Chain A
C-alpha cells in the first residue's frame, strides 16, 4: 500500500527557519516525482514544486522559486520542504503528493499545518 506520512504541525515565529518532511512507503521512492502543494486557510490548492529522488532533479512553480527549497534523502525515502525565513503569509496546510505518469498527482500525504505568528 502506497503511503506518504508527513511530519507534525509546526508553530514558528517570523524569520525562523523550518523543514517539514514526507516519508514514502509501499513503492519505489526513487522512481516517482514527489511534489509539495500549499493550501492557505479557506483557499485552493497551489502547486509549489517537486523533486525526482533518483537524480535530485528539482522543479519549482515560478510563484515559489527562491522562496522554498525542496530536497530528498533516498536512504530514508523522505522528501523535505524547507524555508530559511518564514513569513506570516506562509501560514498554511502543506501536502506532499506523489506524481504518477506525466506528473499527475495520485497519492497524497495527510498534510502538515504550519502556523507562523509572532
Chain B
C-alpha cells in the first residue's frame, strides 16, 4: 500500500486561502468517502480536523473544509492565520481494510 501523495509544502499570507491536495487511487481515496485530515504542530501529537471527507469534529474552526473529486481529496484553509502554520496529513480507508497516510504537507504562513 503506497502512501498517498501530498505536496511537500504550501504557503500563504494571513487572510488568504490555501488548498492542500491528497492523491490516491481507486483502492483508497477514490473508492471510499472515508478520508480524514489531521494537523500537527511541531513537537505535538496530531489532531483531527476533518473526517468522512468533509465533516468537522466539534471544536474545529469552520475555516477548515474538505472535499473530494475522483482519486484526489483536498483540504482548504480560509482566512489563514499564523497559528495554522503546521504539518497536515491526509489518511484514507483502503480496500484491504487498513489505513494509509499521506506524506504530509508543511504549511508556512508568510
- A-to-B contact residues, CB < 8 Å: 35, 37, 44-47, 49-50, 59-62, 95, 97, 99-111
Contacts and interface: CB of A to CB of B under 8 A. Distances in A.
A95 B48 CA distance: 14
5 contacts: A45-B101, A45-B104, A104-B52, A104-B91, A108-B48
Nearest to A106: B48
B36 A105 contact: yes
A62 B1 contact: yes
A105 B93 CA distance: 10
Nearest to A43: B104
A59 B46 CA distance: 22
Interface residues of B, number: 27
B34 A47 contact: no
Contacts of B40: 45
A105 B97 contact: no
B89 A45 contact: yes
Nearest to A63: B1
B42 to A, nearest CB: 11
A44 B97 contact: no
Contacts of A59: 97-98
Given A95-B46, A104-B91, A44 B101 contact: yes
Contact of A109 (B45, B52, B57, B93): B45
A44 B98 contact: no
Given A45-B104, A61-B98, 6 more contacts: A44-B87, A44-B104, A47-B91, A62-B1, A100-B51, A103-B93
A101 B98 CA distance: 12
B100 interface: yes
B34 A106 contact: no
Interface in B17-51: 32, 34-36, 38, 40, 45-48, 51
Contacts of B100: 47
Given A62-B1, A105-B91, A106-B57, A46 B36 contact: no
Contact of B47 (A46, A49, A108): A108
Nearest to A107: B48
B93 A108 contact: no
